[in-house]
Structure 1
Amino acid sequence: MREALFIKKNKGRWQEMQANPSQYPDEMAKEFIQLVEDLGFAKTFYPRSSITQYLNTEASKRYIGLYENQKADTKQLFAFFKYRLPLIIRKHHAVLFICFCLFLLFVAIGFFSANKDETFIRQVLGNGYVDMTEQHIAEGHPFKVYGYGNEVLSFFFLFLNNIKVSLIEFAGGILLGIPTIKGLMVNAIMVGAFECFFFRHGMGVSSLLTIMIHGTLELSTFVVAATSGLVMAKSWLFPGTIKRLDALKQGAKEGVIIALANFPMLLMAAFFEGFVTRHTGIPLFLKLVIIGTSLAFVVFYFIVYPIRLQKQLNLSRKD
């Protein structure tokens, strides 16, 4: 194709792109691809032409625009987890504390109920699971259940299942939080009965050191998920001075934001359970490092950091 014909054929499109460059990443990427294709053609057949330089300049502009958009998206995500989420958590620290206390209460109920009544463990965990675990204990591999299945498939299954549980807990807030509290209660009682079962067999400490590799984060997500649901329920039940519907919208929005805090923790908990917990022979030091690091993160991000950030914000407002 002659250069004049090539220019005549595409001139209108190039002028439109130059006059009205897209501000949306998807459209900008489409323009970039088209310009790169034109540039490749021009470089092949008209390497020394001014049109080649023109197309190179326009393609570079789109590339820089795409790069800046990516940086902006990354900054927004970083700002969300650094500022917005912690401040909303701080706003609802009282609800978080109540959910934590309820969780401990239900765990204690599960533990002591199982300790008083042997049949309670089977009612909560199921006969099949109890019989299987007793067989594993007799074989000398009490935590063999964590070694079943493919590691990658286990990781995805656990992650998706825990997300489902968290979303159900959040959604329960629209029904006055009753399903949310019920879900927290069921999960916590199962944890208490589970630990009682191993303490009865003289393996309580071993079970904690094994299960809390992933459980430190996973159990924390139970409390955070319940908090997200009760924040929505609280806004519905106690709207304050604003309209109930407006309060519900605000509570639902803040509940969703709190629920989003669970996703990174659920991802890591599923990773630990799918890839690490199954290796019960790992050194004690490594177990303590994983558990300690997970616990430190939860305490810092959900308690210490929000309080510190709120204090800094208050001081900056005074200044």
Structure 2
Amino acid sequence: MSVMFAARHFRAEREGDWARLEELLDRVEKQSPRRLSDADLIDLPRLYRATLSALSVARATSLDASLVAYLEALSTRAYFILYGAREPWGRQVVDFFARDWPRSVRAIRWEVLLATALLLLSAVAGYHLVRGDPAWFGAMIPGELAQGRDMGASAASLRESLYGEPKGGGLEVFATTLFTHNSQVAILGFALGFAFGIPTMILLVQNGATGGALFAAFVPHGLGWGLFAWLMIHGTTELAAIALASAAGIHIGRAVAFPGEASRMAAAAQAGRRAAIVMIGVILMLLIAGLLEGFARQLVRDDTARLAIGAAMLMLWTLYFTFGGRRGQA
């Protein structure tokens, strides 16, 4: 009898709060969180904590099993409303492009500058190495990648590769292949970053030197400007994506090597979250680069038009990452 009396007394003291919490949860689930007033929003976490406290007491004192089950279900519902609720998918997408992605890129700006410098300097070095000794070309660009665009190619064949009709058709297949290749390079650069960023930097140097070696084959035939335009139409997006992906990997490696006051795991986790946001955007950039490389570069054969498209894309990315998401940022 005393147990039953205690259970009734326990319920009588608290069931008003439980009913109130249940009513708020019903409103959120059936209508919208926006239907809650300011007072309701203040009450919700308080009632949740009170229900958790009651559940703890009910379990500890072995009260009615049905009461314990009711409180468990009510607490679970409240937990998912308070902590499991997320913004609508569309709003998350808007926030990603309007705020999260450009802010994350700016947060790793020093790594981005390092990755960009490594690409450019290694390209210059690769160019001069091949011009000084053509044997370097084969070491930097395998034959299957060069596809005849090497130091022994004639000016006519090199010009054809820049301005000729695509052979075999299937531009869609070509775009998919290029997108896959570029994605692999970017993802590899990101993934290698955990080893203090060193393998990522080596990969950047390798890719930059490859580009420089390619110029060494075209420049002697007076086609350096044409190659630059041919690459520019997609390269400003593609190389920016690879630089960002590599910078994200270096950012993680730097956090592992120099965690600062935080623990190594905590520093790596924080850097990883920021880098993951950057990488989501990188995939979109690679998709755009693949379309430009597979379609626009083959359909647009005028150097001026190619340069204009490439410069426009470079300006777009520069302005976006420089000014995007600054509103409301301290």
TM-score (norm 1): 0.70
* Alignment counterpart, residue 172 of structure 2, candidates 134, 147, 152: 152
Aligned to 1:95: 111
Q: What's the CA shift for 1:190?
A: 0.3
Correspondence 1:305 to 2:323: yes
Aligned to 2:127: 111
Q: What's the CA shift for 1:291?
A: 1.2
Aligned to 1:178: 198
Correspondence 1:293 to 2:309: no
Aligned to 1:6: none
* Alignment counterpart, residue 213 of structure 1, candidates 212, 222, 233: 233
* Alignment counterpart, residue 169 of structure 1, candidates 189, 195, 205: 189
Q: What's the CA shift for 1:246?
A: 0.9
Q: 1:146 to 1:77 in 2, by over 3 A?
A: farther
Cα deviation code 1:250-285 (max 9, x no counterpart): 11111111122212211111001111212353x444
Question: Equivalent residues in 2 for 1:238-257 (5 A)?
Answer: 238-257=258-277
Number of residues of Structure 1 aligned to a counterpart in Structure 2: 248
Q: 1:118 to 1:313 in 2, by over 3 A?
A: same
Tell me the distance in 1 between the aligned counterparts of 2:144 and 2:249.
32
* Alignment counterpart, residue 141 of structure 2, candidates 107, 113, 125: 125
Q: What's the CA shift for 1:76?
A: 1.0
Q: Give the CA RMSD over aligned residues.
A: 2.9
Tell me the distance in 2 between the aligned counterparts of 1:20 and 1:89.
36
Cα deviation code 1:272-301 (max 9, x no counterpart): 1111212353x4443233112111012112
Q: What's the CA shift for 1:141?
A: 0.8
Query: Quick check: 1:236–1:244 contact (8 Å CA) kept in 2?
Result: yes
Aligned to 1:194: 214
Aligned to 1:138: 156
Question: Equivalent residues in 2 for 1:213-292 (5 A)?
Answer: 213-279=233-299, 281=301, 283-292=302-311
Q: 1:128 to 1:83 in 2, by over 3 A?
A: closer
Q: What's the CA shift for 1:160?
A: 2.1
Stretches of structure 2 lacking an aligned partner (at least 5 in a row): 1-25, 32-84
Q: 1:234 to 1:145 in 2, by over 3 A?
A: farther
What percent of counterpart residues are identical? 24
Tell me the distance in 2 between the aligned counterparts of 1:220 and 1:293.
13
Stretches of structure 1 lacking an aligned partner (at least 5 in a row): 1-17, 24-68, 315-319
Tell me the distance in 2 between the aligned counterparts of 1:86 and 1:131.
37
Tell me the distance in 2 between the aligned counterparts of 1:289 and 1:280.
11
Tell me the distance in 1 between the aligned counterparts of 2:182 and 2:305.
25
Q: Secondary structure at the match of 2:326?
A: helix
Query: Quick check: 2:233–2:310 contact (8 Å CA) kept in 1?
Result: yes
Tell me the distance in 2 between the aligned counterparts of 1:136 and 1:269.
29
